[in-house]
Amino acid sequence: MNQNLPIIGVMPLVDEEKDSLWMLPGYLDSIFEAGGIPVVFPLTSDPNIISKLMDGVQGILLTGGQDVNPVLYGERVINDTVSFCNERDSMEKTVFKNALEKDLPVLGICRGIQFINAFLGGSLYQDIPCQKPSSVNHHQSPPYDKPVHKVSVSEESSLYNLIKKNSLSVNSYHHQAVKEPADTLKVMAVSEDGIIEAVEMPEKRFVWGVQWHPEFSHKVDEESKKIFKEFVYQCKRDKTNKKNKINTD
Distance CA 122, CA 209 (A): 13
Rg for the chain, CA atoms, rounded = 17
Paired residues of 199 in beta bridges: 187, 209
Distance CA 214, CA 61 (A): 12
Q: What percent of the chain has pLDDT over 70?
A: 94
Exposure string over 18-33, b if 16+ CB within 10 A, otherwise e = eeeeeebebbbebbbe
CA angle 121, 126, 132 (to 5 degrees): 110
Contact 73, 118 (CB under 8 A): yes
Alpha-carbon 174 to chain mean position:
13
Domain annotation for the chain: domains and CATH numbers? 7-236 (3.40.50.880)
The answer, yes or no, to whether residue 100 has pLDDT greater than 60, is yes
Report, as residue numbers or ranges, the catalytic residues: 110, 213, 215
Q: What is the pLDDT of residues 36-81, one digit of tens each?
A: 999 999 999 999 999 999 999 999 999 999 999 999 999 999 999 9
Name the pTM for this structure: 0.95
Residue 237: what pLDDT? 85
Q: What is the pLDDT of residues 101-143, one digit of tens each?
A: 999 999 999 999 999 999 999 999 999 999 999 999 999 999 9
